[in-house]
Chains A and B, each alone.
Chain A
């Protein structure tokens, strides 16, 4: 469905006013779009996860202070004020949502997928997380607790997924290539 043309014209009108006021440069707008479209994405988070799987000391630092730990990769900014990493274990499965709007850890996961911003996901995953996860094809065993984390402008969450046992001998780069975005939001469980 195309957007109402009034909305599009209003966006153009706003841009022209901001340019006149010297507040935005159209080239910077283009650069920003390209940057987020092509450069920032879940591969940043995947590198963090792969390292945590291989390096217990890094993992401890990551769980203790996510914001500081990702700075070791040079990842910061992107509206992450405080990044908290929640670790999946055989006993607890974590899943992340922003019930009020669309808060998301941009620095490690890029921009959120469409469904993350959707009212259905935002309201339902809190009420019936297992049912929502099942719709993603993710079945969590009955004896595993499902913990839902509600992001805010101040705190963003990322899930540290469980590594399938058969991946233990893989290099950190191969591991990073196998970590999906959805597993770091918590709607997917990684499998062989």
Chain B
């Protein structure tokens, strides 16, 4: 069920947060990375605080680096942190992820999403 995700009740009588004028995810992959992290933490692949520790480190590394993009790439940090915590927990090895990424990059551009 959807509403066991945050142990929150559904509030039908209220407007969704979108009504507040804020779009949560700029691009679909951001929502998917966010959801994957949450679902993996819920099934205890890692503790949320372990993910958070990685995220803090990734953000810190970016902030002290000189290679800063014009737009703050929060979800890229989020993805990197997820990659690191999954590697640390032996869930997904970085080499495995890199190989799959290379494989997907080689797909024809009109592949079925």
Contact = CB atoms under 8 A, between A and B. Distances in A.
Interface in A67-115: 73-79, 100-103, 106-107, 110-111, 113-114
A43 B5 contact: no
A102 B34 contact: no
A32 B17 contact: no
Interface of A: 1-3, 6-18, 21, 23-24, 28-44, 73-79, 100-103, 106-107, 110-111, 113-114, 117-119, 153-154, 180-181
Contacts of A75: 8-9
A100 B39 contact: no
Contact of B2 (A6, A35, A42, A110): A35
Given A7-B29, A24-B39, A36-B31, 16 more contacts: A12-B29, A14-B97, A17-B96, A23-B39, A30-B35, A32-B35, A33-B25, A33-B34, A39-B11, A41-B20, A73-B9, A77-B7, A77-B8, A110-B17, A153-B49, A154-B49
A23 B86 CA distance: 12
A68 to B, nearest CB: 14
B103 interface: yes
A8 B75 CA distance: 11
- Closest 4 pairs (CB-CB, A-B): A41-B17, A77-B7, A32-B35, A13-B100
Given A12-B29, A40-B17, A35 B100 contact: no
Interface in B77-101: 79, 82-83, 86, 91-92, 96-97, 100-101
A40 B6 contact: yes
Interface string B27-61: 10101111110111001010011001101100110
A55 to B, nearest CB: 19
Given A3-B76, A32-B38, A78-B6, A10 B97 contact: yes
Contacts of A41: 14-17, 20
A118 B72 contact: yes
Contacts of B73: 3
A29 B36 contact: yes
Nearest to A2: B27
Contact of B8 (A12, A107, A113): A107
A181 B18 CA distance: 12
Nearest to A28: B39
B63 interface: yes
A113 B72 CA distance: 13
